[in-house]
Amino acid sequence: MDEEDDLLGVTWPEKPDPDAPCSFAQDFQDFGTTLLLRLSETEPKHLEIALADAKVNLLDRYCDFLTDTPPVHSNAAGRRKHLCIRDVLDTTIRQIRLQQRSRLPPKLARKQKPSPSEIARSFGIG
């Protein structure tokens, strides 16, 4: 700050910490943390539905923040000024996916044998 600014009584705001989330991101992060906590406490028999529900709720809340936050929070032209809602979405969805992969067994596709009528139709019979 130079003497002229001091004489005019101008106080310049400090630049935000680029590694600290903004208030919107902090609120969204709190919501995501709650979702992840619920998932970690979900019984395995209910986990598949809970995971799908968490993804829908996270995306729905992201849309709320996306439409309700000022435009400077949209990371226009890739200029990152602080951690924001997009960063929180990326982190949280990866954590949900990690829980899905670590707690649910993979679904193996079982090919069923075709019925006799299906076999016949493939040859133009029936």
Place of tokens 């890739």: 78
CA distances from 100 to 59, 93, 103 (A): 16, 10, 6
pLDDT tens for each residue of 39-61: 999 998 899 999 999 999 999 99
| Domain ranges, ordered by start, for the chain | 15-104
Entry pTM: 0.64
Which of the pair, 121 or 64, is modelled with greater confidence?
64
